[in-house]
Amino acid sequence: MIACAEHFLPGNDAEPKPDDDVVSSLSKTLGVQAITTDDLGIASKDFGGLKFVKPLALVRPYTTDDVARVVRAAGRSPTLTVAARGNGHSINGQAMAEHGLVLDMRSMNELVQLVRINGAPYVDVSGGALWEDVLKRCVSEFGLAPRSWTDYLSLTVGGTLSYAGVSGQAFRYGPQTSNVTELEVVTGKGETIVCSKTQSPELFFAVLGDLGQFGIITRARIVLQEAPHTVRWIRVVYSEFEEFSSDAEWLVRREEGESCFDYVEGFVFVNSDDPSNGWPTLPLDPQQVFDPIHIPPSAGPVLYCLELALHYRHSDNPSRVDAVVDGLLGRLRFIKGLKFQVDMGYTEFLLRVKRDEEHAKINGVWDAPHPWLNLFVSKSNISEFDSEVFKKILKDGVHGPILVYPLLRNKWDSRQSVVVPESDIFYIVALLRFSPAPPKGPSPQLLVEQNRQILQLCLAKAFDFKLYFPHYHSRQDWINHFGNHQWSRFVERKTAFDPMAILAPGQKIFSRVPQPYSFTQ
């Protein structure tokens, strides 16, 4: 029941304010540990490195009760807001709270508990748990693993569930929000509610993909499956977008029971020897070489890569694995001669971006600003998006991965709060920029402007698209993002679960409502 509130000390001339009183009384109720000045900064910055916002205090809750007490205390003040901070890997300050309370969710007591219901395995984990820890514990202790992932796993369970959580398994299992069966949530009213499809279903569906607006996830129950031992990781290259996309769609549409890869992603890269944007980024192993002799003369400024993986177990016959891979690859129209593959452990595969993180830290691009742009673009517009954006605006690359791969809409539950395009198939497009900070690299403002130009183009051409990790400045933009029907539902949910707009102020969707609300103590 101990929590620690780190107070951002006001300057000498600052008079104590009512909110300061809330913090000091909160400190007493929660049982404050020493206030250190060392790590105050984590609450005022994020991975994006574009926003710096000073909160009133950073609070370290250890239990769900601590979280509920902080929300109730904020509700007693006319102005205080509360931002749950996962691992702060947002781009635009979404986990920040200007002059509000930031909850460091990673400080919550660790929970990784196996649950069996009618024989089926699930794991109960804290909202502040990192996915990489969930992976390691589930594989090493139970031989089991969640089914749906993100590419990078130093993200928290609550942080990705408040968006969607997408990677190369989502075509089969849906996003991470489709792989959770029960949540424990602290609402903006300070109530702690356990919810599922059958128990308080309104809250359950509302919270999944809610941008943190309706509740703080303190526990999630995640579907597990048997963990494979090994993964065959494959990259094949295309020069024509139509061939790349139709092969990718053929793979993700494979029916359950038909042989298919377990992971399907894709990306765009520059057709040149540029070390951070071009051919050298393709090989999976230092021994492999990208030989451009295979590229047809008709190829344009960019090339495309389908990234695939097949899971298998030690007991599987290697010739069966080869036969499945060869059978599937034999149906694809990639450039022969431009295929790369390695076999590696399952955990090592899922932690692959951790190795990129280590390199990026050494090169200084991990801590530089990251003006990223993430979109869902309908299948009907993706070819034109390729011609206008990949081949023109981004023809020199983004100094990092440009992901593009198809997802199936029927794997997304429309009762959840996340919004996606209308069409049966839509593509995730992610511009994961890793430019060095100025003066070595371009100014972040220039890259933000390039993102704006891409969005303007999508709007001007009336593409069916949605921002993933949306970030808007005006109410009208938010209404446009959700569409009238879903916006009404979003507002109703806000009124029901966080009527004073205490939660997730960094998303800048609703403003704090000052009128008092009757909180239970």
Write out the two tokens for 427.
């593509």
Of 90-98, 293-301, 406-414, 447-455, which segment contacts ligand FAD by CB under 6 A? 90-98
**DSSP letter for each residue of 250-286:** HHHTPPTTS---SEEEEEEEESS--TTTSGGG--SST
Q: Does 217 bind ligand FAD (CB under 6 A)?
A: yes
Q: CA separation (Å) from 504 to 61, 157, 402?
A: 16, 16, 29
Q: Does 74 bind ligand FAD (CB under 6 A)?
A: no
Cβ atoms of 452 and 389 within 8 Å: the answer is no
Q: Does 290 bind ligand FAD (CB under 6 A)?
A: no
Of 163-171, 194-202, 298-306, 376-384, which segment contacts ligand FAD by CB under 6 A? 163-171
Binding test (CB under 6 A) with ligand FAD, winner from 6, 19, 66, 151: 151
Considering the complex, state which of residue 150 and residue 239 has its C-beta at the smaller distance from ligand FAD: 150
Give min distance, CB of 180 to ligand FAD, in A.
12
Cβ neighbour number for residue 192 with a 10 Å cutoff: 17
Alpha-helix runs per DSSP H in 77-224: 131-137, 157-161, 170-173, 201-207
Name the phi and psi angles at 253, rounded to 5. Answer: -85, -5
To 5 degrees, how large is the angle CA 170–CA 328–CA 233? 60
Binding test (CB under 6 A) with ligand FAD, winner from 55, 61, 75, 86: 86
Binding test (CB under 6 A) with ligand FAD, winner from 61, 88, 146, 421: 88
Binding test (CB under 6 A) with ligand FAD, winner from 155, 237, 248, 268: 155
Of 58-66, 153-161, 303-311, 312-320, which segment contacts ligand FAD by CB under 6 A? 153-161
Q: Does 435 bind ligand FAD (CB under 6 A)?
A: no
Across 397-450, the runs of DSSP E, i.e. the strands, are: 402-408, 425-431
Cβ atoms of 231 and 343 within 8 Å: the answer is yes
Q: Does 105 bind ligand FAD (CB under 6 A)?
A: yes
Of 148-156, 188-196, 305-313, 472-480, which segment contacts ligand FAD by CB under 6 A? 148-156
Q: Measure the CA–CA gap between 191 and 188, rounded to whole angstroms.
A: 7
Q: List, in sequence order, every residue forming a beta bridge with 431; answer none if it has no partner.
A: 373, 402
Of 82-90, 135-143, 379-387, 476-484, which segment contacts ligand FAD by CB under 6 A? 82-90
**DSSP letter for each residue of 278-313:** SGGG--SSTT----GGGS-TT--SEEEEEEEEEEE-
Considering the complex, state which of residue 47 and residue 390 has its C-beta at the smaller distance from ligand FAD: 47
Binding test (CB under 6 A) with ligand FAD, winner from 27, 148, 150, 416: 150
Of 56-64, 210-218, 340-348, 437-445, which segment contacts ligand FAD by CB under 6 A? 210-218
Q: Measure the CA–CA gap between 371 and 441, rounded to whole angstroms.
A: 13
What is the bridge-based pairing of β-strands 4-7 and 230-238?
Answer: unpaired
Give min distance, CB of 212 to ligand FAD, in A.
3
* Active-site pick, 184, 249, 265, 386: 265
Binding test (CB under 6 A) with ligand FAD, winner from 44, 92, 162, 347: 162
Q: Does 93 bind ligand FAD (CB under 6 A)?
A: no
Q: Does 85 bind ligand FAD (CB under 6 A)?
A: yes
Q: Does 167 bind ligand FAD (CB under 6 A)?
A: yes
* Residue located via tokens 């593409």: 463
Binding test (CB under 6 A) with ligand FAD, winner from 40, 56, 58, 83: 83
Give min distance, CB of 167 to ligand FAD, in A.
5
**DSSP letter for each residue of 467-486:** ESS---SSHHHHHHHH-HHH
* Active-site pick, 6, 19, 66, 151: 151
Q: Measure the CA–CA gap between 77 and 72, rounded to whole angstroms.
A: 9
**Three-state SS for 194?**
strand
Specify whether 492 is catalytic.
no
**Three-state SS for 31?**
coil
Q: Does 84 bind ligand FAD (CB under 6 A)?
A: yes
Specify whether 151 is catalytic.
yes
Catalytic residue numbers, as ranges: 89, 151, 265
Q: Which residues bind ligand FAD (CB under 6 A)?
A: 46-47, 83-90, 94-95, 105, 127-128, 150-152, 155-156, 158-160, 162-167, 211-212, 216-217, 504, 506-507
